[in-house]
Amino acid sequence: MSDEPKRRAWGTGRIYKRRRSRNFYIRYYDLRGKRHTESTHSTKRADAERLLRDRLTRKDRGELRPDARKLTFGDLATMILVDYRTKNRRSWRRLEDALARLSAFFGGDAVHEIENDTTSRVRSYVGGTRALDITPDRIAEYKARRLDGGAAPATIQIELMALRRMFTIAVRAGRLPQSPHVETMGPLNNARQGFLEEADFTALLAELPDYLRPVMLFAYHTGWRVQSEVLPLTWRQVDLQAGIVRLEPGTTKNDEGREFPFDALPQLKAVLDAQRADTSALEKATNTIIPWVFHHDGRPIRTYRRAWVGACRRAARGKGKANVPGLVRPQLVGRIVHDLRRTAVRNLERAGVPRSVAMKLTGHKTEAVYRRYAIVSESDLREGVGKLAALACGAPSGVLPSPAAHATMAEQSR
């Protein structure tokens, strides 16, 4: 190295040339005392002076992020994983799926940690594309490739929101000077429209395993989310004497507590009373304490998807109809557990429960989301048109006119 001819004042950095290099280099220290060296990519000393002044000015303002050049996609992914863990977010599985898709495009290897003998969770990511190279055009290329691969727009939206969150965390942590523009998929009209009529739900219930029937009955009457609110319920949250089941603040999707007075609904009270009796009998037989309201032989219920899908298929075919072409209940094909939540909302609407009260029972924070669940079925529409026809015929409200009445009206109109 050949030093510059005149030594600069302390704290003002250094300009020099390396051996066998025509370009100037600068050296300076950040606010943490870490030394940084950069090439000016120029043979002019004036360019080196300007670059060094820029770096020192940004350092004094706290705007300098020297580590941004070394930050990779793996570092961004690790930061959002840490954020989810510290904030105890419940959408771990969705985040891991999104990061897996993003890392397949931007690079980065997942580092797993074993939770037990059979499952593992992604602990961190390493390597991948530099964060500064994840530019809007690269993000647009990612969107196009996912669409060409047949991914649903709603799925891509979740992945892009995760990417935007990763950059936001990095900027707030001081690891990046700014975040690139992450353009999402825009407004999506992907609200599902499924619900279950009482007869269909009864047929489905008969095909479910015994340990899952109380779970689905509880969800059908309350509209609570099965995975995050029903299955984790413990008996300390159920007051059998007062007839109230509670969700503590911080355990729900909107972090607000919730109560449901089950003793006012005999069907729901019967479910919890029977579940308490069965649990007490099992505790006595096994000499153990079972804290969960809903369980499978004393063990918590982890998954139900396969049992639910199988029950929907069998109920759609009908008993004894396995070899008969066609379906007895085709509307049950493709039903999901979340349809129980929509059904509960519709039942509350049908019962005339005030919307503010219904939202407190089901846990909807905004009326806009609640209205998406208040679905009107074909039978509801037919009933409304029937009332209109009754009014047109001069019949009492709710009484449908007979075909003969229609013929009489037609004859009189002539």
Decide if pLDDT at 398 tops 50. no
Quote the pTM value.
0.61
Domains defined for the chain, CATH in brackets: 2-64 (no CATH), 73-172 (no CATH), 198-373 (1.10.443.10), 386-413 (no CATH)
Range of weakest confidence among 131-140, 267-276, 313-322: 313-322
pLDDT per residue over 169-199, tens digit each? 998 887 887 888 988 876 655 555 678 889 9
How confident is the model over 91-116, as a mean pLDDT? 84
pLDDT per residue over 230-263, tens digit each? 999 999 999 999 999 998 887 777 678 889 999 9
pLDDT per residue over 32-56, tens digit each? 677 888 888 899 999 999 989 888 8
**Residue 279: count of CB within 10 angstroms of its CB:** 19
